[in-house]
Amino acid sequence: MVTEAATRRETSTGGDEKRRRGRVLVVDDEANAREALAELLEEEGYETATAAEGRRALEMLSTFDPDVILTDLKMPGIDGLELIDRAKPQCPHAAFVVMTAFGSIDTAVQAIKRGAENYLTKPLDLAAVTALVERAFEKSLLSREAAQLREQVETKGGVPGILGDHPSMQRVLKVVEQVAKSRATVLISGESGTGKELIAAAIHHLSPRRGRPFVRVNCAALAESLLESELFGHEKGAFTGAHTRRAGRFEQADGGTLFLDEISEVPLPLQVKLLRFLQEREFERVGGNETLTVDVRVVAATNKDLEQATKAGTFREDLFYRLDVVRIDLPPLRARPSDIPVLAYHFLRKYAAENDRQIEGFTDEALRALMDYGWPGNVRELENAIERAVVLSDGPVLDVDVFSRTSAAGGKAGDLSALIPGLSLKELERLAIERTLAACNGSRSKAAAMLGISRRTLQYRIKEWNLGDTVE
Ligand SMILES: Nc1ncnc2c1ncn2[C@@H]1O[C@H](COP(=O)(O)OP(=O)(O)OP(=O)(O)O)[C@@H](O)[C@H]1O
Ligand SMILES: [Mg+2]
């Protein structure tokens, strides 16, 4: 609504449109003073509201959201000082200007101590009123802007608790932020230890469902019949041992997120029931007739190639497509070696604190070895290696020897003996290709020559393993 005062201000200031009108709440038990002040400030272009006492002023905060609160100090009921205390938490950006009658400076000083911007003495000098309100308004705008900036920085800081600056991880985190808001089913795929569970939890915590349960079910851990009652619950007497009715994980997750880990391990008959839930949002408890519906967002994870499993006939294709609405492919750690130092330092701090050890960092050689290693167990293996190293080391810096004592990562680049036994032939082949490519700075023809295979075979392997990222 454009008031007359606003129009006047626009003409007098040349219509600076970007500048929003400030809102001032005038609180004074004296009706004349209150109205006169409101009128003066309206003339100055502010939007105003008035309250005759502290309690009313507090009530108005929910609808008015002032930039400046201009308040008398001496009032019956809630006085100016109390108003400051009680209004601050509700409108943290509002600036207070207090008015004190008898020129009694000590109450004004108390008000300043409680966070008021400034004070005016009565009888009021109108020029001083407009000057102080103007300054208070600027102050409040700055405070709001600072808060907005902070918020931007915090949300831009990405997904809390998940480290990784490599472009492949940044892409993942962007998708996480985008899908979190929706209810879309998410399928997270990635090798063991790449952070699938962490990502699933992040999706939940960034979603509007964050206040509701995040429930995880490991589908590989239970036999078919147990898994069914675990997921969907059972009625009393549904099977031997079912002494009472029990709510399943779907019911427990109502309003929240259900994380189906190792989804590839769900037996075929149960896959049908999952499919039904994803299509109709309906299910029955084991041994029950009542059809239940719940509001659950499903996030599934797998370290197997589900598409392959559909071809092999162990996973239903229709279920696969229902799950694969949004896909998040977590890159293996060796495909993002630039993330290794950040993660290594993160785990170093974590385990040094946990074990009460003063360890500052890694020697260059140790860090190099960590970056050169293939990490078949991905982030989890790195985390374990650092934990062991922290426990076993006795110096203030972790050197390469402490890793070679504990894990394959300590092996010098090229020294594969530490990895065998432990790697499959396929993994060895992959490691050979990765390291050779890295040594040839990504040149595929050089690497193929060095490996004694054709360029086409090399291309094929790179594609097969999604190594594209390492050889940009
Ligand atoms: N990007 C990351 N930043 C920080 N910590 C990570 C990151 N990725 C993984 N981790 C840590 O590594 C460990 C393994 O992660 P997580 O359990 O999520 O992997 P996973 O893919 O579910 O593994 P699995 O397939 O074996 O179940 C956890 O302790 C997790 O906190
Ligand atoms: Mg997991």
Find the mean pLDDT for residues 196-206.
Answer: 94
Give the ligand 1 atom nearest the CA of 200: 18
Least confident among 57-71, 147-161, 352-366: 147-161
Residue 2 has pLDDT above 50, yes or no: no
Contact at 8 Å (CB) between 253 and 232?
A: no
Residue 4 has pLDDT above 60, yes or no: no
Find the mean pLDDT for residues 255-283.
Answer: 96
Q: Which ligand is nearest to the CA of 385?
A: 1
Q: What is the pLDDT of residue 422?
A: 67
Contact at 8 Å (CB) between 333 and 382?
A: yes
Residue 406 has pLDDT above 60, yes or no: no
Atom 30 of ligand 1, nearest CA residue: 195
Write out pLDDT tens, residues 220-253.
Answer: 988 888 999 999 999 998 888 888 999 999 999 9
Residue with tokens 């949002």: 281
% of the chain exceeding 90 in pLDDT: 59
pTM of this structure: 0.59
Ligand 1: centre distance to CA 196 (Å)? 6
Write out pLDDT tens, residues 69-121.
Answer: 999 999 889 999 999 999 998 888 899 999 987 667 888 889 999 999 999 99
Tell me the C-alpha distance between 38 and 44, whole Å.
Answer: 10
Three-state secondary-structure class, residue 393: coil
Burial of 90 (0-12, 13-18, 19+ CB in 10 A): exposed
Under the banding of pLDDT at 50, 70 and 90, the label for residue 462 is confident
Residue 151 has pLDDT above 70, yes or no: no
Tell me the C-alpha distance between 195 and 464, whole Å.
Answer: 21
Residue 471 has pLDDT above 80, yes or no: no
For residue 39, give every residue at least 6 positions away whose Cβ sits within 8 Å of its Cβ, in sequence order, or none. Answer: none
Pocket perturbation via mutation, ligand 1, pick of 198, 345, 378 by most ligand atoms within 8 A of CB: 198
Contact at 8 Å (CB) between 316 and 268?
A: yes
Write out pLDDT tens, residues 336-351.
Answer: 999 999 999 999 999 9
Pocket perturbation via mutation, ligand 1, pick of 379, 381, 382, 383 by most ligand atoms within 8 A of CB: 379
Domains and CATH numbers, the chain: 4-153 (3.40.50.2300), 167-331 (3.40.50.300), 332-422 (1.10.8.60), 424-472 (1.10.10)
Q: What is the pLDDT of residue 392?
A: 85
Residue 13 has pLDDT above 60, yes or no: no
Q: What is the pLDDT of residue 419?
A: 66
Encoded amino acid at 69, one letter: I
Mean pLDDT rounded to a whole number for the chain: 86
Find the mean pLDDT for residues 445-467.
Answer: 81
Pull the structure tokens for residue 458: 């090399």
Under the banding of pLDDT at 50, 70 and 90, the label for residue 7 is very low
Write out pLDDT tens, residues 353-369.
Answer: 999 899 989 998 899 99
197 Cβ below 6 A of ligand 1: yes
Of 367, 379, 375, give the one whose Cα is nearest residue 430.
Answer: 375
Write out pLDDT tens, residues 27-55.
Answer: 999 999 999 999 999 999 999 999 999 99
For residue 193, give every residue at least 6 positions away whose Cβ sits within 8 Å of its Cβ, in sequence order, or none. Answer: 333, 377, 378, 379, 380, 381
- b/e code 406-443 from CB counts within 10 Å (16+ = b): bbbbbbeeeebeebeeebeeeeeebbbbbbbbbebeee
How many residues does the structure list for the chain?
472
Tell me the C-alpha distance between 257 and 250, whole Å.
Answer: 9
Tell me the C-alpha distance between 221 and 227, whole Å.
Answer: 8
189 Cβ below 6 A of ligand 1: no
DSSP at 410: G
Contact at 8 Å (CB) between 327 and 458?
A: no
Pull the structure tokens for residue 434: 């990765």
Q: What is the pLDDT of residue 420?
A: 67
Ligand 2: centre distance to CA 384 (Å)? 15
